Structure 1
Amino acid sequence: MDTIPLDYETLRLIWWLLLGILLIGFAVMDGFDLGVGTLLPAVARTDAERRLVLNVVGPVWEGNQVWLIVGGAAIFAAFPALYAVSFSGFYLAMFLILFALILRPVGFKFRSKVEDKRWRAVWDWGLFIGGFVPALVFGVAMGNVLLGAPFHFDDTLRIYYTGGFFALLSPFAVLCGLVSVSMLVAHGAAMLTIKTDGPVAMRARRYGSLAALATAVLFVLAGIWVAFGITGHTIVGVADTAAASNPLFKQVASATGGWMANYQAMPWTWIFPVLGVLGALLSALLLRAGRGGSAFLASALAIASIILTEGVAVFPFLLPSSTHPSSSLTLWDSSSSHLTLFVMLVVTCLFLPLIILYTSWVYRVLRGKVSPESLEQNHNSY
């Protein structure tokens, strides 16, 4: 261990930051795909318009989903206890997301196989479900992180999950789900404004600006709820940030408004919720003005800031326990070994820049608007 240039505490913190980056990358890059799918029935009224919308995201959605795959792999390797609790306790929710995400590639591939209105209408609604359901469920999951999950460990560190699927759909969690849907719809509308013209772009600007305003309002309501109505956790005493991982080697206190402690201790972190609101409001204004590129950047800022707002609030917790607070998982007591984190960091430093460079190249090649003429010229279009 002495040959590893970074200490255990630093590596754990780095991987917490990397998980945040991967989550933001997924929300920004694949988020507009989900938003476009959710907007499909609203912005496209004819078959030609629907093809236009589908071909905005059709060439890029697979690459964008890499962020989700890498994020899941990072959780598995860097924080295996978090992976075990979340993927077993939220089993049905994960299957719901998986089912919805499977509809997306199937919808893209099968929709145009048959020139029948009813056939295409079925797959259009499948693509809507593939956008709306993951956006909602991911937001509900973020809400349940703040509420805490009903799990605990016994003395041998076996996991016991005592909740059910419908218990995840509490009013606060559903509110967080609506924040997620509205912010991704605004993000998708910005992409449609960039890539299309005519009635599709006009409707996207209108619905997107409303969604961006809803994002700001719902985000503020969720923040007030967290401050005055949600029980938050605090580690009692000083956590041993360099010890071997064991979630039971700590004591946790709980109190209403406890998730505001980090903001009180570090006032500069208020910049994240402020940017979340301002980014959403700015996105609404820019969409109204038809400035799609600027609106996309503003909505990306809002998405990143909203995710960072929750990350700061729960730090250092990864998944709090609502029934046994001392079983809560933190980055200090649920990570892989020192050597594993270091080897993974080296691999990430080698391959993550390649992913970013390749993604940048793809978007450069695919720059420009999607038009009926371009679809007629491209026989591989959806």
Structure 2
Amino acid sequence: MLDYPTLKLIWWLLVGVLLVGFAIMDGHDMGVGTLLPFVGRSDVERRVVINTVGPHWDGNQVWFITGGGAIFAAWPLVYATAFSGFYWAMLAVLWALFFRPVGFDYRSKIHHPLWRSTWDWGLFIGGAVPPVIFGVAFGNLLQGVPFRFDDYLMPTYSGSFWALLNPFALLAGVVSSAMITLQGATYLAHRTEAQIQRRAVAAGIGAALVLVVGFVGAGIWLQGIDGYRISSAVQAAALPDPLSKTVVREVGAWIANYTTAPLLWLLPGLGVAGALGAAALLAARRTLSAFVASSLAVVGVIGTAGASMFPFVMPSSTHLASSLTVWDSVSSHLTLGIMFWATLIFMPLIVVYTSWAYRVMRGKVTEAYIRENDHAAY
């Protein structure tokens, strides 16, 4: 079996992979939902939009569920503390997600304009709200979250829901929303044609520009925010105990990893280049390449956040020693080992099955298809 420090690092990477997988796969579903009321002007056009993701959206939820499960099992202290501190924000995500299954299933069951319009906006809420909240959550992580552990490692959160809505966190929410909207726009442009495709292209180019400006702006802003640094010796092989270390805050600490490992600058570069490349490829109607470029932008943006914070996962702004890191927020050696081998078996199966499903259901969704399958299509 792999040693404990190695497994801790592996699970930091695997959680990152799951977050990226969620943003790419479930992200384009949410992006399509965000664009639904705007790129579809008639009932038939909106059904075209819905049917581009209708066969896949529930399967893509696997990434969301697996990501949450991995955090619960691999980082139990992070899971417990985050869901306590971000309780109302997480409930808002769940309430928004409730609109997705019922919206997809019931939207076209009744042929009434008010009924269908209501569910269209429900699908919009289910697609637009979660990315914003996830971005706001990441923005707060970069500034530190007000919690502390007692001697029994019981967390106490001292913040409020409204305190989460600070300017930097809201900017991070804009970046996250633009990233997911771009992902949805590139996928929608690839699966549609005519007016819907043209509107998706325009929306994608706009989202890409917002993403680049917001991402670069957040990076400049971050350099003036106090970051976190472990000032004591790192006990990578020790049993989890967040209170056994000392932590300091200092300006520029979130940029320190890029100074130590200059290759990490490739990540923010990928975020900017991927978004701009997606916009250019959309303008040239190279939609599949645009989707790939948008996905690379997702890797760059999320990778930048992870690389900046490493080894911190959830810093504490009220009791620095309580900050959770890769080294002291994890499960036991045995748990991480079992999860690692299970992941090696099941993640490739998920990727293979998903690839097969998308290949089988490839091609354009057209208005003619919707009319011919009026009672079978979403």
Specify if TM > 0.5: yes
Which residue pairs with 1:20 in the alignment?
A: 16
Amino acid at match of 1:24: V
- Quick one: which amino acid aligns to residue 337 of structure 1? S
- Identify which of 241, 245, 248 aligns with 1:246: 241
Cross-structure match for 1:288: 283
Distance 1:157 1:264 in 2: 34
- Name structure 2 gaps, 5 residues minimum: none
Which residue identity lines up with residue 6 of structure 2 in the other structure?
T
Alpha-carbon shift at residue 148 of structure 1 (Å): 1.2
How far apart, in 2, do the equivalents of 1:288 and 1:170 lie?
Answer: 35
Report runs of 4+ in structure 1 exceeding 3 Å deviation.
376-379
Whole-Å separation in 1 of the counterparts to 2:370 and 2:113: 19
Kindly report the root-mean-square deviation, in angstroms, between the aligned alpha carbons of the 2 structures. Answer: 0.9
Residue pair 2:134, 2:176 contacting (<8 A) in 1 also: yes
Is 2:268 aligned against 1:273?
yes
Q: Residues 259-304 of structure 1: CA distance to partner in whole angstroms, max 9, x if unpaired?
A: 0111111111101001111111111111111111011011100011
In the TM superposition, 1:177-216 aligns within 5 A as: 177-216=173-212
Instruction: Provide TM-score, normalisation by structure 1.
Output: 0.97
Aligned-partner residue type, residue 241 of structure 2 = N
Aligned match of 2:333 in 332, 338, 354?
338
Question: Over residues 199-253 of structure 1, what are the superposed CA-to-partner deviations in whole Å (9 max), with x where a residue is unaligned?
Answer: 000001011101101101110000001012x110000032100000011010001
1:258 aligns with 2:266: no
Equivalent AA in structure 2 for residue 72 of structure 1: G
Among the aligned pairs, what percent are the same residue?
Answer: 56
- How far apart are the structure 2 equivalents of 1:87 and 1:381? 37
Q: Given the alignment of the two structures, is residue 76 of structure 1 paired with residue 75 of structure 2, yes or no?
A: no
User: How much has 1:373 moved relative to structure 2?
Assistant: 2.4
Pairing of 1:115-126 with structure 2 (within 5 A): 115-126=111-122
Secondary structure at the aligned position of 1:248 is classed as: helix
Q: Is the 8 A contact 1:286 1:292 kept in 2?
A: yes
**Matching of residue 42 in structure 1 with residue 38 in structure 2:** yes
Which string of whole-angstrom CA distances, capped at 9 and with x for unpartnered residues, describes residues 158-190 of structure 1? 110001111111100000000011111111111
Find the partner of 2:350 among 343, 352, 355. Answer: 355
User: Is the Cα–Cα contact under 8 Å of residues 318 and 330 in structure 1 kept in the other structure?
Assistant: yes
- Which of 159, 164, 170 matches 2:155? 159
- Aligned with residue 373 of structure 1, among 363, 368, 375: 368
Which amino acid is 1:372 matched to?
A: E
The offset of 1:350, in angstroms, is 1.0
**Alignment-derived partner of residue 114 in structure 1:** 110
Q: Is the 1:193–1:291 contact (alpha carbons within 8 Å) kept by the matching residues of 2? A: no
What is the rounded CA distance, in whole Å, between the counterparts of 2:255 and 2:321 in structure 1?
Answer: 19
Pairing partner for 1:231 from 219, 223, 226: 226
Q: For the residues of structure 1 that align with 2:253 and 2:366, how far apart are their CA atoms?
A: 51
| Deviation at residue 15 of structure 1 after TM alignment | 0.5
